[in-house]
């Protein structure tokens, strides 16, 4: 397959943009497990011995083989069976006289091993596909290209694309979009532009998709300048950037400013939103949440609250239902930055406001905020938030109990920990933490860090030189662990500073 993996061109300069295409490939419809299917799955997944022993067992098993049974075994065993046993089973089926594999069966097998991210298996099967003069489906190539790029095998992915004609697969708009999408998903913009340059006559029907993919890749690189160029190229080509394009550009801009210009986050993001409105594209909740996420990461509380108020005012000013109304993610981002900056009362107010608005958050909302509160040693607020979670009947409380019970016990609150433990047991929940955590003789109680207290001892001494110079006047000079203070009568005061160790008892 090496001839298929070597592209004849590498980096070629080019022109235009991007989106993120995800291809989902359906497997064969589920079939009730038959006796034959179960036998083969047991042999492949749970068999004992080497790969040669596996073949010997397959030769002796009493089963009526057919191509559909082979694909069913691949689907049923792909999660449990070791990859090498699964591959040997498929290669064995090729040689079995009763099995006549069709091109679709071979493509299905390639997709299975692509899903398992096994490069060696893909290498072997794609080589066999070419040798046996079989045809690769476009959906199979899309899947393989995405997997290879994720595995860091960019040259191999481009090599297969370059030699698709040898695999009876057309280089059309679908396959060009697939390889561009795969490359851009990992930020390989120059390689993607090389593909576009050589196949620009085949992408006229999917230009918007190509632009979106390039924008996505540039966003990963946080390349604001090139992203802006892509937006301009789209307009020049008569293609109006849609909401996805602007949100992708907005994300790129905010991520860049987060690192280099935090004070420019809000004004520059709002300028992008003004530009969006000029093209009759209204910013949505997602647009504002992108900005809020970056504001939270840089702990800009005031701006976060301003953006939340802007979203509320925009909703109030609209006569119809507005797409920029705050959702639970919005409140999560604002509450999180409030908790992280020690504004616990205000953060609780945000959570209460969200519930009053009738918004029902997902479990992630409670998981993350309770984790933040425990991390900043505010377990009392975490318990209040947990009570709200239980009132919402969301379920999935095990993770929270596993976090709160050890946390309370390590803080010395064994009674409250025991109360939560009994509560979890009454609900028949299976916790990962052990009951041993409730035992004060086993659990080590956390001792809070105390500030270093200084004990100062003043001793009179004769005048001395420090650094080869006499100290005059009331000058304070540090030297090692001693602080020398000169006084007016020529005497020296040597101050010895002693610090108590952190965590020491008073």
**Three-state DSSP class for residue 290:** helix
User: Above 70 in pLDDT, residue 506?
Assistant: no
CA 292/CA 419 separation, integer angstroms: 37
For the chain, the first-to-last Cα distance in angstroms comes to 74
- What was the pLDDT predicted at 380? 94
**Three-state DSSP class for residue 470:** strand
Rounded average pLDDT over 465-477: 48
The confidence band for 463, taking pLDDT boundaries of 50, 70 and 90, is low
User: Above 50 in pLDDT, residue 24?
Assistant: no
User: Above 80 in pLDDT, residue 410?
Assistant: yes
User: Above 50 in pLDDT, residue 14?
Assistant: no
- Calculate the average pLDDT of the chain: 83
Cβ-contact 215, 245 below 8 angstroms: yes
Per residue in 198-245, pLDDT tens? 998 898 889 999 999 999 999 999 999 999 999 999 999 899 999 999
CA 485/CA 505 separation, integer angstroms: 31
- What was the pLDDT predicted at 62? 81
Cβ-contact 312, 326 below 8 angstroms: yes
- What was the pLDDT predicted at 297? 94
- What was the pLDDT predicted at 316? 64
| Range of lowest pLDDT (93-97, 284-288, 413-417) | 93-97
Cβ-contact 503, 449 below 8 angstroms: yes
Q: Is 250 exposed, middle or buried (0-12, 13-18, 19+ CB in 10 A)?
A: buried
Residues sharing a CB contact under 8 Å with residue 505, sequence separation 6 or more, in sequence order: none
CA 81/CA 484 separation, integer angstroms: 74
Rounded average pLDDT over 295-324: 83
Give the DSSP letter string of 23-60.
-----PPP-PPPHHHHHHHHHHHH--S-HHHHHHHHHH
The confidence band for 503, taking pLDDT boundaries of 50, 70 and 90, is very low
The confidence band for 474, taking pLDDT boundaries of 50, 70 and 90, is very low
Element containing residue 393 per DSSP (H, E): none
- Across the beta sheet with 476-479, what order do the strands follow? 454-461, 492-499, 482-486, 476-479
Q: What is the DSSP letter of 432?
A: S
pTM of structure? 0.75
- What was the pLDDT predicted at 453? 44
- What was the pLDDT predicted at 469? 53
């Amino acid at each position: 397959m090496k001839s298929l993996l070597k592209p004849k061109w590498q980096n070629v300069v080019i022109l235009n943009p991007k989106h993120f295409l995800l291809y989902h490939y359906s497997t064969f419809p589920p079939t009730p497990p038959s006796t034959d299917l179960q036998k083969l799955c047991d042999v492949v997944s749970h068999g004992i011995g080497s790969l040669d022993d596996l073949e010997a067992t397959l030769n002796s098993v009493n089963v009526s083989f057919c191509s559909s049974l082979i694909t069913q075994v691949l689907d049923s065993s792909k999660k449990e069976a070791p990859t090498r046993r699964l591959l040997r089973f498929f290669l064995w089926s090729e040689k079995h006289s009763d099995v006549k594999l069709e091109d679709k069966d071979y493509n299905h097998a390639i997709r299975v091993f692509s899903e398992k991210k096994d490069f060696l298996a893909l290498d072997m099967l794609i080589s066999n596909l070419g040798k046996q003069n079989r045809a690769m489906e476009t959906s199979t190539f899309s899947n393989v290209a995405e997997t290879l790029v994720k595995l860091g095998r960019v040259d191999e992915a481009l090599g297969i694309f370059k030699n698709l004609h040898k695999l009876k697969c057309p280089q059309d708009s679908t396959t060009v979009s697939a390889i561009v999408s795969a490359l851009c998903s990992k930020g390989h913009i120059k390689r993607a532009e090389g593909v576009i340059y050589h196949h620009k006559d085949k992408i006229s029907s999917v230009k918007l998709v190509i632009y979106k993919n390039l924008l996505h890749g540039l966003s990963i690189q946080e390349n604001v300048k090139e992203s802006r160029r892509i937006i301009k190229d789209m307009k020049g080509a008569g293609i109006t950037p849609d909401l996805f394009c602007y949100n992708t550009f907005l994300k790129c801009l905010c991520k860049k400013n987060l690192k280099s210009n935090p004070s420019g986050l809000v004004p520059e993001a709002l300028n992008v939103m003004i530009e969006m409105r000029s093209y009759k594209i209204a910013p949505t909740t997602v647009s504002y949440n992108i900005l809020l996420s970056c504001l939270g990461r840089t702990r800009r509380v005031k701006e976060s609250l301003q953006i939340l108020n802007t979203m509320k005012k925009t909703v109030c000013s609209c006569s119809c239902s507005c797409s920029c109304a705050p959702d639970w993610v919005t409140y999560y981002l604002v509450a999180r930055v409030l908790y992280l900056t020690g504004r616990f009362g205000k953060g609780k107010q945000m959570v209460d406001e969200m519930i009053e608005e009738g918004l029902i958050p997902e479990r992630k909302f409670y998981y993350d905020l309770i984790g933040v509160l425990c991390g900043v040693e505010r377990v009392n607020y975490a318990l209040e938030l947990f009570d709200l979670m239980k009132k919402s009947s969301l379920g999935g409380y095990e993770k929270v109990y596993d976090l709160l019970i050890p946390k309370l016990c390590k803080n010395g609150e064994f009674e409250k920990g025991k109360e939560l433990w009994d509560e979890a047991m009454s609900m028949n929940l299976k916790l990962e933490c052990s009951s041993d955590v409730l035992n004060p003789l086993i659990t080590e109680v956390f001792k809070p860090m105390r500030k270093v207290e200084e004990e100062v001892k003043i001793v009179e001494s004769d005048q001395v030189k420090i650094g080869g110079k006499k100290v005059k006047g009331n000058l304070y000079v540090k030297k090692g662990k001693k602080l020398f203070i000169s006084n007016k009568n020529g005497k020296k005061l040597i101050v010895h500073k002693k610090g108590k160790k952190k965590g020491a008892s008073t």
